[in-house]
Amino acid sequence: MALDWDLLVTCVRHHRLDLLMTSLLNSEAGIPDSVRAALKDNERTARTMALQRAGELARVARRFGGAGIDMLALKGPALSAQIHGHLFGRVCSDLDLLIRPDDEEGARRLLAELGYGGTDADVLVCQNAVTLRHAVTGAMIDLHTRMGEDEGLVPTGAFRPFETAVEMQIAGVRVRTLAPPAAMAYAAYHGAHHHWCRLQWLADIAAATRLAELDWNAIAEIARRAGTERHLLLSLRLCQSLFGCGPAVSVELSGQLSSRLSPQAMAGVLRAESILPAVLALPPLGEFDMVRRVGRLRILRAELALTELRSAWLARLRLRLRPTVTDRNAIRLPSALGFLYYAVRFIRVLWATGRAVLPHRPSHPQRARPKDRRAP
């Protein structure tokens, strides 16, 4: 079967591997010139975006520092500099900032002065952050006040983000970010939370396993405190199977985690791992459509299989039943009846779960669709 080169380019872009792919291409390989040119163009675009995001991060960090607001850069240019030693190791589509909850009002006001979230149309409140869009450039900043969607799901204090933060130079400005052990423990949780639907997140873990100075015992300890040991073990297992990452670190730590986890916990890791072929199936899909393809019930089972703490189980279910923007758009209710959106959410979850369990049936089984009709 001939290789679908267009699909290759699509997969590289979807998984945000533009900055890693071209360095792996053998000049003597039989890659069509048009495909090689497309990959190079995408790499140049990603490099330009990385520079823009780094410059914007420096501008924001300077303003936050001047205002006395403690801010940490999550993922993005800071993580690229940590694990690759430069800004061009990972695609940065937006900026993620972590602040203390008490500083949210001041941070929102400062970002509005910088052009972010100036109007209601430029603000989107999500479960784990407030997304603010720049009115002119369209650039996005996700403003976080905690590490996860719910403190019961992943406690921010377990990472000690502000207490252990480190400084680095980004575009000539001192920027604070997570200490490397906290950054990698968070990266493992974040990728597993999104079911590794973009391989860039796994590539980050694989690149980190090649850093001799990284303290993986400290990473494992943070994961233990946060209740995310299963997420960390899953990330290492996938790195070994998909990327062949360094055995000196990954195999040893995987063995330690595997021996420490109960048989039930290991079964949970394997259950979460079992959905990866469906998650990564072709053609690549965005997360929403991917969840529909894999099945919402199967995804929920995988999420619960990685959940260790009872409080995290309750938080996971609470998040599933919390009304979303889609729920509010489905039925318009006056503010006085806003509590009814919880009932709307519950009904929609039951409906989606029922559709996932029941076999698919056409709307009119007695009537064949035109394309299915056969000539007599």
Q: Which of 232, 256, 290 is the last residue of a domain?
A: 290
Q: Is residue 297, in this structure, part of any structural domain at all? A: no
Q: Is residue 261, in this structure, part of any structural domain at all? A: yes
63 and 193, same domain (yes or no) = no
Read off the pLDDT of residues 3-18 as tens digits, 9 standing for 90 and up. Answer: 899 999 999 999 999 9
pLDDT value at residue 348: 76
Q: What's the rounded Cα separation, in Å, for the pair 116 and 136?
A: 9
* Single pTM value for the model: 0.86
216 and 185, same domain (yes or no) = yes
We report the CATH number of the domain holding residue 30 as 3.30.460
26 and 154, same domain (yes or no) = yes
98 and 186, same domain (yes or no) = no
Read off the pLDDT of residues 68-84 as tens digits, 9 standing for 90 and up. Answer: 999 999 999 999 999 99
What distance, in Å, lies between the first and last C-alpha atoms of the chain? 35
Buried b (16+ CB within 10 A) or exposed e, 227-237: bbbbbbbbbbb
Q: Is residue 245, in this structure, part of any structural domain at all? A: yes
Residues in the chain: 376
User: Which 3 state secondary structure label does DSSP give 367?
Assistant: coil
41 and 20, same domain (yes or no) = yes
27 and 158, same domain (yes or no) = yes
Q: What's the rounded Cα separation, in Å, for the pair 17 and 22?
A: 9
Nearest to 216 by CA among 246, 177, 238: 246
31 and 174, same domain (yes or no) = yes
In this predicted structure, which of 37-51, 294-308, 353-367 has the lowest mean pLDDT?
353-367
Q: Is the pLDDT at 85 greater than 70, yes or no? A: yes
- Under a CB-based contact definition with an 8 Å cutoff, are residues 216 and 249 in contact? yes
Nearest to 197 by CA among 93, 321, 294: 294
Q: Is residue 304, in this structure, part of any structural domain at all? A: no
Question: What are the start-end ranges of the E strands in the chain?
Answer: 71-74, 95-99, 123-125, 130-133, 140-144, 166-170, 173-177
Distances (CA, A) of 340 to 234, 319, 348: 38, 16, 13
14 and 114, same domain (yes or no) = yes
Residue 351: give the domain boundaries. Answer: 309-333+340-357
24 and 84, same domain (yes or no) = yes
Read off the pLDDT of residues 116-158 as tens digits, 9 standing for 90 and up. Answer: 998 888 998 887 899 999 999 999 999 999 999 889 889 999 9
Q: Is residue 362, in this structure, part of any structural domain at all? A: no
169 and 95, same domain (yes or no) = yes
Q: Is residue 276, in this structure, part of any structural domain at all? A: yes
Q: Is residue 196, in this structure, part of any structural domain at all? A: yes
Residue type, 92: C
Counted domains in the chain:
3
**Which H or E run includes 205?**
helix 199-208
153 and 26, same domain (yes or no) = yes
152 and 81, same domain (yes or no) = yes
Q: Is residue 267, in this structure, part of any structural domain at all? A: yes
The mean per-residue pLDDT over the stretch 155-163 comes to 97
Read off the pLDDT of residues 269-309 as tens digits, 9 standing for 90 and up. Answer: 999 999 999 999 999 999 999 999 999 889 989 999 999 87
The mean per-residue pLDDT over the stretch 230-257 comes to 81
Task: Label each residue of 320-343 as H, E or C.
Answer: HHCCCHHHHHHCCCCHHHHHHHHH
Lateral strand order in the sheet of 166-170: 123-125, 130-133, 140-144, 95-99, 71-74, 173-177, 166-170
